């Protein structure tokens, strides 16, 4: 009876790990989608990881700004778009002038986005605004739970009894190594590829 119970627990643990790996691949495969130039030219890390933590950013929608924006302004006019919503994080940048900043949509008035903070920089006509998605995973060393958060939402549990989480992005590579151990024994190791940065 005890062996059968242990076998069932191990099968559930393996299934949980494989489901989590599928989720990691789906989420992080989008890292930097439609934003490759931002990481290359502005140095913004669109995938980042350290011990027990990983985060990615990718584009939901990109729009070219068709007016000059002054420092301190909060209003940005864009074509009507369903991706730019109240509370949505945005990235505004200009590659030529090597300027960028993160902000948030406070409200929408017709085709005008009202940002939560005044712009820190001036941006010429032709600059870009992107509605971004941020996905973050963290492992609590206290209760050994791997949790996931989308944008500024709450961290929700993904996998329990995670005794080891190891994530490594190799320098100058789009390959990311992962190692997950559950219940002090069930281990899955492998790689995923940051397809969005290709």
Angle at 188 between CA 185 and CA 193, to 5 degrees: 160
pLDDT digits (tens, 9 = 90+) for 34-44: 998 998 899 99
Angstrom distance (rounded) from CA 130 to CA 93: 9
Collapsing DSSP states into helix, strand and coil, what is residue 159? strand
Q: What is the pLDDT, as a whole number, of residue 17?
A: 83
Give the burial class of 64: count Cβ atoms within 10 A of its Cβ; 0-12 exposed, 13-18 middle, 19 or more buried.
exposed
Look up the pTM and report it: 0.86
When pLDDT is cut at 50, 70 and 90, the band that residue 7 belongs to is very low
CB 182 within 8 A of CB 15: no
Between 90 and 192, residue with greater pLDDT: 90
pLDDT digits (tens, 9 = 90+) for 53-65: 999 999 999 999 9
Q: What is the pLDDT, as a whole number, of residue 114?
A: 96
Angstrom distance (rounded) from CA 83 to CA 69: 21
Q: What is the pLDDT, as a whole number, of residue 53?
A: 92
Q: What is the pLDDT, as a whole number, of residue 10?
A: 57
Nearest Cα to 92, choosing from 55, 57, 119?
A: 119
pLDDT digits (tens, 9 = 90+) for 141-193: 889 999 999 998 999 999 999 998 989 988 788 899 988 888 877 788 888 88
pLDDT digits (tens, 9 = 90+) for 103-154: 999 999 988 999 999 999 999 999 999 999 999 999 998 899 999 999 989 9
186-193: strand order across its sheet: 162-169, 175-182, 186-193
When pLDDT is cut at 50, 70 and 90, the band that residue 2 belongs to is low
Q: What is the pLDDT, as a whole number, of residue 170?
A: 83
Give the burial class of 50: count Cβ atoms within 10 A of its Cβ; 0-12 exposed, 13-18 middle, 19 or more buried.
exposed
The domain ranges of the chain are 2-197
């Amino acid at each position: 009876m005890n062996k059968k119970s242990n076998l069932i627990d191990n099968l559930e643990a393996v299934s949980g790990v494989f489901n989590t790996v599928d989720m990691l691949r789906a989420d992080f495969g989008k890292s930097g989608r439609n934003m490759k130039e931002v990481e290359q030219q502005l140095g913004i890390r669109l995938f980042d990881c350290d011990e027990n933590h990983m985060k990615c950013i990718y584009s939901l929608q990109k729009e070219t700004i068709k007016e000059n924006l002054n420092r301190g302004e909060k209003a940005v006019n864009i074509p009507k778009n369903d991706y730019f919503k109240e509370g949505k994080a945005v990235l505004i940048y200009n590659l030529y002038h090597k300027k960028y900043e993160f902000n948030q949509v406070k409200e929408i008035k017709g085709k005008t986005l009202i940002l939560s903070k005044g712009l820190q920089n001036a941006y010429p006509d032709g600059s870009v605004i992107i509605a971004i998605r941020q996905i973050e995973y963290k492992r609590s060393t206290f209760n050994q739970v791997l949790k996931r958060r989308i944008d500024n939402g709450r961290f929700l549990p993904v996998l329990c009894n995670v005794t080891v989480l190891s994530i490594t992005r190799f320098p100058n590579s789009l390959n990311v190594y992962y190692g997950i151990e559950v219940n002090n024994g069930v281990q899955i190791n492998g790689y995923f590829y940051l397809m969005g940065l290709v």
